A and B are shown apart, each in its own frame.
Chain A
Amino acid sequence: MTVKELSEKLNLSICCGAAGLDREIRGGYTSDLLSDVMGNAQEGAVWVTLQTHKNIMAIASLKELAAIVLVKGLQPEEDTAAESENEEIPILSTTLETFDITGQIYQLLHPLP
């Protein structure tokens, strides 16, 4: 599934980095601890977090994540958005809370037989 498909299916708003909407999603990771994401997220994952500062883009880029999903209607800071555009890694936003959006993403990536 691409980031674009995910955003359409789950009604996520696209904050920035639209040039990367064709990135393929290969899993997900949910955490607000940067070292945890750095150490454990897999390449191609979509990352669910409430962090909005620029360092999330440093991690997304170093780990080659597919996209970041911000929860609770949060928006990226200005310099975060600029990095997302540079790196072509989209930042999406949902009004849902972390538990709910993570569950929905999981269901899409691992549909029941």
Chain B
Amino acid sequence: MEFNYNLEGGNFSRAGAASSEVKKLLKQLNVSPALIKRIVIALYEAEVNVVAHAYEGVMNVVFDNQTIRVKITDKGPGIPDIGLAMQEGYSTASPKVREMGFGAGMGLPNMKKNCDSLSIESQVGVGTTVTMITHLQ
């Protein structure tokens, strides 16, 4: 099964909508509540990163019996130093975005903690692809 959700850069009022759709699907598929909780944290942070840092993107979700694979591809500024971006507390979010409570620099660390494997590919000036794989057992 495969699903795609469009993500809109800059539109904070829609942030979380795609994650919420995936959460509903996971519930329908009888994925365990504990796993859903982890996956939802990772999905939300990935979704918010497109909203906060990129121009547009797609969340692609593929399920089989064993795994859920989420690939978030965006067009955006890219990440020049992925190692630095992964550090807890590192953020380039604007003051306005920080005032809203985003931009704590905890998104990527939350994603890493809440999936089984996280990989990030990014090209500066082009965009970023984040892939998260979680085993369903």
Is there an interface contact between A53 and B100, defined as CB atoms closer than 8 Å? yes
Determine which of A38, A51, A61 lies in contact with B110 in the assembled complex, contact meaning CB atoms within 8 Å.
Answer: A38
Interface of A: prevailing SS? helix
Asked if A14 lies at the interface with its beta carbon under 8 angstroms from chain B, I say no
User: Given contacts A35-B107, A79-B13, is CB(A61)–CB(B101) below 8 Å?
Assistant: no
Is there an interface contact between B104 and A36, defined as CB atoms closer than 8 Å? yes
Asked if A112 lies at the interface with its beta carbon under 8 angstroms from chain B, I say no
- In the assembled complex, the CB of B93 is this many whole angstroms from the nearest CB of chain A, namely 11
Is there an interface contact between B110 and A35, defined as CB atoms closer than 8 Å? yes
Is there an interface contact between A55 and B16, defined as CB atoms closer than 8 Å? yes
Is there an interface contact between A38 and B45, defined as CB atoms closer than 8 Å? yes
> Which residues on B are within 8 Å of A, measured CB to CB?
12-13, 15-17, 19-20, 23, 37, 40-41, 44-45, 48, 100-102, 104, 106-107, 110, 113-114
20 A-B interface contacts by CB (under 8 A): A33-B104, A34-B48, A35-B107, A36-B104, A36-B106, A38-B44, A38-B45, A39-B41, A49-B101, A51-B100, A51-B101, A53-B12, A53-B100, A55-B12, A55-B101, A58-B16, A58-B20, A58-B44, A62-B40, A62-B44
> Which residues on A are within 8 Å of B, measured CB to CB?
32-36, 38-39, 43, 49, 51, 53-55, 58-59, 61-63, 79
